[in-house]
Structure 1
């Protein structure tokens, strides 16, 4: 009976010793590797609309451990990395996500340090635009067109548009081939369209009977990456 008690006591002591060694080893390993240090997250994430692309901007903190940011979209099935240079802290970082479909997106941005530790994510929504958006845009209407005299041997063309004002309209872009055979593109800004009943523009060195192709330009967002345009229309000026 004494031998049974003795064996049991030895087993308990051995178990305690093993347990003590294990905990000590785990603690030692934790001390050697050290606690994980997570980099600071970004601030003020903004998304700018573009034509089949989007522009992201944010403020990176002064955290010196940050070496890159990763942008996720499409439920994190797509991503891209942006290197963060030491000279960019603290400052605004800009990145363009290209090759997007025409639809809304939610973007998430994380920062990383050299050890690969990831910050808390910051998200913002935006959209990429394209042909479907442009198909719904309207052109200003041409209400008058005529050839007018100019310094010989040239003529000029006068074109008058009836404008309507919508937030985001930039103006009209018109393209033609002049009498010297050079392609010319002129932009008539929409600054006065809010109050004017008509807007006119003179195209120099215009050949009588020539054509002029124009489109109305739209900026879908104040900070948009791209100007989009309505379907081009072509007129002949006899």
Structure 2
């Protein structure tokens, strides 16, 4: 009896036909159009672009793209079945986020392919932009060349830098724009107008192949580029102040210090003080205009003797109530000068006989200066009364 039951069951099972599944498909066949290949996402600014290679299936008429769990979609008509072509789908208006996209191929009957997923598709925006910074200049940011051109120096960019744009004023007074690539660490400006600002802005892409270029939020200002320009001696004037040294004779005046002589001079082509006092002794003069970045002094002594080897350089821009009635050899002279608004720009100490021209850098970031006082505290030959000088020259940064 058991054997008979098994045979009946086998007979019933074998009687099903291969096409019986059609009753579940309403008598139709299940068709899958060819799926796309090599799908990927190119990130952008508030948008992205999906790209893929089409299937060679000639029945495909469109592609549907879905994201946000299928709540958003886009349709792209099929125009090619050549697998060497690229289909592109740009989706805009996206929030900064990481998305997953699903791509289906469709034929004219509405049959769709197996899904193609594109994961980790990133969209960039304000959060990414906030991390961007302009490329930094080197610690020694520029070099002024002998031909008055300027070489700007930059550090190596630390991310995928595309370029850095610089805007500057040229010698014709026009605003010019130049670019430095990430592979370059310097840029030469051949027509830069000294003393004018240079601003710069860098651009980046988050990854290779990104759809958009991102710019920093603002331009930064390059460190000021100032060159040394000799102060105009034609504007210099004698301007003796209370307590200054007298002159030895009428043709050894303070004005000898800016007569343009080069190298140590001989008497009487020098400044020669009288002997009516003892060191420290001071002399003063007016440079004829205000200088905002007085930076270097060059002092040249006499060919033989009485040359200062230790002296102070003082400066101020306005003499109103600024001149102390105090001899320069008074112990309190320095403090009173400072209380009157004078700035000690430099204390110069030479180790030679004081004859040759010697340059010295003045203080960094000086205040505006028009009037100069030189206070000699020691002479190389030990003279305690006479002071001799051939020339004094100043340079201003501009």
Compute the TM-score of the two structures, normalised by the length of structure 2: 0.44
Please name the residue that 2:41 is paired with.
Answer: 47
- Identify the residue that residue 164 of structure 1 maps to in structure 2: 156
Answering whether residue 112 of structure 2 is matched by residue 118 of structure 1, we say yes
Identify the structure with bigger relative contact order (alpha carbons < 8 Å, sequence gap 6+): 1
Structure 2 spans left out of the alignment, 5+ residues = 1-21, 227-398
Partner of residue 167, structure 2 = 175
Indicate the structure with greater helix content.
1
Structure 1 match to 2:206: 220
CA change 1:202–1:89 in 2 (3 A) is: same
* Partner SS state of residue 128, structure 2: helix
Residue 143 of structure 2 corresponds to residue 127 of structure 1: no
- Give yes or no for contact 2:104–2:114 (8 Å, CA) kept in 1: yes
> In the TM superposition, what is the alpha-carbon distance from 1:133 to its structure 2 partner?
0.7
8 Å Cα contact 2:173-2:193 kept in structure 1: no
Query: Which ranges in structure 1 are unaligned for 5 or more consecutive residues?
Result: 1-25, 193-198
**Structure 1 residue 54: Cα displacement:** 0.9
Aligned length: 199
Kept in 1: contact 2:162–2:205 (CA 8 A) = yes
Cα RMSD (Å): 3.0
Larger Rg: 2
2:220 aligns to what?
233
Instruction: Measure how far apart 1:184 and its partner are.
Output: 4.1
Distance 1:65 1:149 in 2: 72
What is the alpha-carbon distance in structure 2 between the residues aligned to residue 80 and residue 120 of structure 1? 17
Match of 2:337 in 1: none
Normalised TM-score (structure 1): 0.70
Give the alignment of 1:1-238 within 5 angstroms: 34-86=28-80, 88-89=82-83, 91-124=85-118, 125-143=120-138, 144-145=141-142, 157-161=150-154, 163-176=155-168, 178=170, 184-191=176-183, 199-231=185-217, 232-235=219-222, 237-238=225-226
